[in-house]
Chains A and B, each alone.
Chain A
Amino acid sequence: MMDALDKELLKAVSGLEQIPKGAYNIRKNGKLLTRNVSANIDIESLEGSRGIRVIIKPGTKNESVHIPVILTEAGLYDVVFNEFIVGDDCDVTIVAGCGIHCGSSESEGHEGVHQFNVGKNSRMKYVEKHYATGDGTGKRILNPTTKVFLEEGARAEMELAQIGGVDDTKRVNEAELEANSMLLITEHVLTERDQQAVSSNTIMLNGAGSRANMVSRSVIKGSSRQIFNALMEARAKCFGHIECDAIIMDNGINETVPALKALHPDAELTHEASIGKIADEQLLKLMCLGMSYDDAVNTIIQGFLK
């Protein structure tokens, strides 16, 4: 059912050596490969294998759902829409990701929209990894979108990573926060050669007491380009922070535009942004600990993207 390549891709995007425990849905080349539901987590197909709807019962605690996507078919461009309905008072982890193996001159791609509704006082951790491999000359394209709606008192932690091999990516993250909800998004993107990545983020702080923190870490190798846009808009007494750091390694190009908009007098919004090479003092410190220059560079980058 799953061959060695499927397993390699699965491991890269979800850290799984084999079929996960609990609820899961594995999609391969645009079709359902295998699925499991649990007592508290139901997964149903949307019309026309367009995607899935994951329904998590209120009060579900310490459970997880894995929904990896793997692509190995030349020339396929898979588009999927997945919806997650997390009931009130839950504490769940959702692990998504897309692994592409491109073995021909034809491009392959995946466009996934993940929409979340996180119920009152629920906690959700969402982990999404993107990875591409293969020695084909076709382009590997990934365009992930997340749309998060946090109800009162909900907390979401989202870890988004794209750590290699993707030629072209347009990432979109949108979030809306109701009263006393909290959102932490960390996005780590590494591009190399002539790859391109654009990340566009919009976070709306609608409710009083809502808090959002967006952390972006970019590494731009070779002659790749990255563009990072983030807008945080406050419509109540709330707190928001954007932190974006980009390290340019070779001849890369980066554009970082954090934007803050306060439509309420008690909003507190801050941002920190930096673009630059690896600091000499960091390299020198590691070299003083006995590391070679190249190992020091790798260690700093790995730490930065960890």
Chain B
Amino acid sequence: MLDLHNLSFMSDGRQIINDLSFTFQKGKFYAITGPNGSGKTTLSKLIMGIHKATTGNIVFAGKDITNYTVTERAKAGIAYAFQHPARFKGLTLRDLLNIALGKDHKADMRDIVEKIGICSFEFLDKPVDSKLSGGEIKKIEMATTIALNPKIVIYDEPDTGIDLWTIDPMVNLLKKEQTEKGTTTIVISHNRTFLEAADTVILIKSGKIAYQGDTRGALPLLSDLSICNQNCKVHENDGCFR
């Protein structure tokens, strides 16, 4: 349903995404992983239209959307939950949900808030600003994205700042959205629980797909430090943290 054809993205003379092609199938669950700086967020932003591909094209549900704006892609049913969500001055979660749900909606916002594990409804009328914790802003980002009821969605590291006890319910929620609504779901994560929940795992390295397949096949690669593209060793014998 979403085809990436030979996508490349250059910035400041650097090749960040390098001739990448892939087809996401309708209703499937994908996990994207790979070292920091390998291009996962950049790829998502190319799909959402936040960055313009230097070369290549994107086809969604049979239509070439390469030249669509962000707004047009959102309206077509593509959604992206940011790795570093925006913080506002004045806008509340209720304001954002109203925008996501569209006018004349009849949805009960409290259902959405409850789903996401925000335990207090007071959150609805709190400003989405810099006073929120890292975990709270990520939950709000997920709530506003789910409220869009997208056809295809990318969650960019939704688990950062989320406590250990919330990871499993979060995976279950996204699986439920996928199975009940047929949402094509892509989660960028380093967390094993997400990798295990996926139909397909994609490993990105230096702006290219280094592996695609089932989780089992990916695990040995993940423990193999050679996929790390950052030569950060200070001394010969230093191990890598990754």
Contact = CB atoms under 8 A, between A and B. Distances in A.
A306 B90 contact: yes
A302 B95 CA distance: 11
A285 B82 contact: yes
B71 A279 contact: no
Contact of B100 (A289, A302, A306): A289
B102 interface: yes
Contact of A290 (B75, B82, B89): B75
Among A279, A284, A293, A302, residue most surrounded by chain B Cβ atoms (within 10 Å): A284
Contacts of A292: 71
B99 A286 contact: yes
A249 interface: no
Interface string A280-292: 0110111111111
B86 A284 contact: yes
B96 interface: yes
Given A287-B74, A288-B80, A290-B74, A217 B48 contact: no
Interface in B155-213: none
Nearest to A283: B86
B71 A303 contact: no
B88 A300 contact: yes
B148 interface: yes
A305 B96 CA distance: 16
B77 to A, nearest CB: 10
A288 B90 contact: no
A286 B79 CA distance: 11
A291 B100 CA distance: 9
B50 interface: yes
21 contacts: A281-B84, A282-B86, A284-B50, A284-B86, A285-B82, A285-B85, A285-B96, A287-B70, A287-B74, A288-B74, A288-B79, A290-B99, A290-B102, A291-B71, A292-B71, A299-B91, A300-B88, A303-B89, A303-B90, A303-B92, A304-B89
Interface of B: 48, 50, 69-71, 74-75, 79-80, 82, 84-86, 88-92, 95-96, 99-100, 102, 144, 148
